[in-house]
Amino acid sequence: MAQLYALGPRLKEPLEIVFIDQWGQPEAGIDGGGVFKEFLTSIVHEVFDTDRGLWCTNDRHELYPSPYSYAQADEQLVWYTFIGRILGKALYEGILVDVKFAGFFLNKWLGLQGYVDELASLESLDKDLYRGLIALKNYTGDVENDFSLNFTVSKDEFGEQTVTELIPGGSDIPVTRENRLSYIYHMTRYRLSVQIEAQCRAFFGGLSDLIDPRWLKLLNREELRILLCGTESPIDLEDLRRHTVYGGYHEKDLSVQYFWEALALLDQSSLKAFLRFVTSSPNPPLLGFGELNPKFAIRHAGDDATRLPTASTCVNLLKLPAYSSREQCLEKLKYAIHAEAGFDLS
């Protein structure tokens, strides 16, 4: 991490990655971009692990920076800068990442900071708070006595309750019918911006080392999501098949036919698992599999039909044994794609 962090904006330049095996020896493999892709996706998997304390998830399992004070320490802010650069590198190289961000956080990528934008996107952070604030906004009764609120926010941080004033003297200012819009504004701003301000500044500082923020502002939120993660539209097997290359097989070989027939029996959830198994991303590229680089490839992996198929995600390669029936191929595929796969360069 220290070596990559020290590169700063020079992370744009081509990098040579060498994996070291368990015996301390460099693994064989030619990096035509594929090894770096595997390295980058491995980093992404690690740094977005919520157990590390840098990221939280909403009820849709979408990520956003941790609001806890722990995440604002200098050593953690360095990590946010590093993560910003890594995602910038992914965008720069056109590498899809298997990460979903909360809508309000994606809005920050696009420079959407207006009150209306923030209030609407609060739902992607805290659905209950959003509904509560909308109810407060539309309430026709006695706001002060029925809600008993003041201009503070309480939070539980590792078992310790803390109270923060939204405005100076906020603990002594009740929320009334007259000032409730001000309360809604300050609460929304605090939850979406203030408590993660340092984290976002570090993250976007790293991102801007590689990606000009003006480019991102040309996109809408869905377009940005697709550039990062690929399209979530159903997987088109015919498109995948048209753009598949073969090694040791011909497209008309029986084992290849069994493979495509087996894939056609999978539901979309399993197809996405298959795509993650062979490319590291569950989503196809925005413009279809013709844009996948390298092309999806199927290589003959011998005649031992007891073996499972394996994959080299760095080069989008499936190593497929010569199975003798569609049913056998389907059984082996299902087991392989739902099992934990390791890195493979062979």
Instruction: Walk along the chain (346 residues) in steps of 10 and give the mean pLDDT of each run.
Output: 71 67 55 66 88 93 91 92 94 88 92 66 93 96 96 86 94 97 95 94 95 90 89 90 96 96 95 91 86 92 94 90 96 88 42
b (16+ CB within 10 A) / e for 57-91: ebeeebbbbbbbeebbeeebbebbbbbbbbbbbbb
**Residue 232 confidence (pLDDT):** 80
| Same-domain status, 213 and 296 | no
Q: Is residue 207 part of a domain?
A: yes
| Same-domain status, 242 and 323 | yes
The CATH number of residue 248's host domain is 3.30.2410.10
The CATH number of residue 129's host domain is 3.30.2160.10
3-state secondary structure of 156: strand
| Same-domain status, 126 and 265 | no
**Residue 286 confidence (pLDDT):** 78
- Predicted structure pTM score: 0.79
| Same-domain status, 120 and 242 | no
Q: Is residue 343 part of a domain?
A: no
| Same-domain status, 102 and 207 | yes
Domain with 34, as residue range(s), is 2-111+196-229
| Same-domain status, 106 and 208 | yes
Q: Report residue 251 as tokens.
A: 């497209």
Q: Is residue 88 part of a domain?
A: yes
Q: Which amino acid is at 170?
A: G
Q: Is residue 200 flagged as an active site residue?
A: no
Active site residue: 56, 200, 229, 314, which one? 314
- Count of structural domains, the chain: 3
| Same-domain status, 11 and 107 | yes
**Residue 233 confidence (pLDDT):** 83
Q: Is residue 288 part of a domain?
A: yes
| Same-domain status, 107 and 207 | yes
Which ranges constitute the DSSP H helices of the chain? 2-7, 34-47, 74-93, 103-109, 115-121, 127-138, 143-147, 180-192, 197-208, 213-216, 221-229, 237-242, 254-264, 268-279, 326-337
Q: Is residue 9 part of a domain?
A: yes
| Same-domain status, 105 and 132 | no
Q: Is residue 250 part of a domain?
A: yes
| Same-domain status, 100 and 88 | yes
**Residue 31 confidence (pLDDT):** 47
| Same-domain status, 204 and 252 | no
Average pLDDT over the chain, rounded to whole?
88
Q: Which amino acid is at 177?
A: R
Q: What are the tens digits of pLDDT across the range 244-301? A: 999 999 999 999 999 999 999 999 999 999 999 998 888 888 788 998 888 999 999 9
Q: Is residue 344 part of a domain?
A: no
